[in-house]
Amino acid sequence: MKKKHYNTKTEFFRQAIREKMSELELEEAFKAIEKFRKNNPRRTTDADLRRVREELAKELEKEMSQED
């Protein structure tokens, strides 16, 4: 912990939890994109990807606001 400049064990665990949550959110986003790609036989455009990212961001924002 000292090598990574954490003052307490609590700080270390909080950061570990934040990193794991980010990892899970990213995994969920990739799953959503993969689902979109499988259901769409045509080539995905940049505009399509942008729309999906915006939808995912709205969903995550909604989930995060419900947790507060």
Asked if pLDDT for residue 68 goes beyond 70, the answer is: no
Q: Where are the domains of the chain?
A: 9-67
Question: What's the pLDDT at 24?
Answer: 93
Question: What's the pLDDT at 18?
Answer: 92
Orientation angle between helical segments 46-67 and 9-38, nearest 10 degrees: 140
Question: What's the pLDDT at 17?
Answer: 93
The two tokens of residue 28 are 């969920």
The pLDDT tens digits for 15-66 are 999 999 999 999 999 998 888 878 777 777 899 889 999 999 999 888 888 8
Buried b (16+ CB within 10 A) or exposed e, 51-64: ebeeebeeeeeeee
Query: Do residues 29 and 23 make contact, with C-beta atoms less than 8 angstroms apart?
Result: no
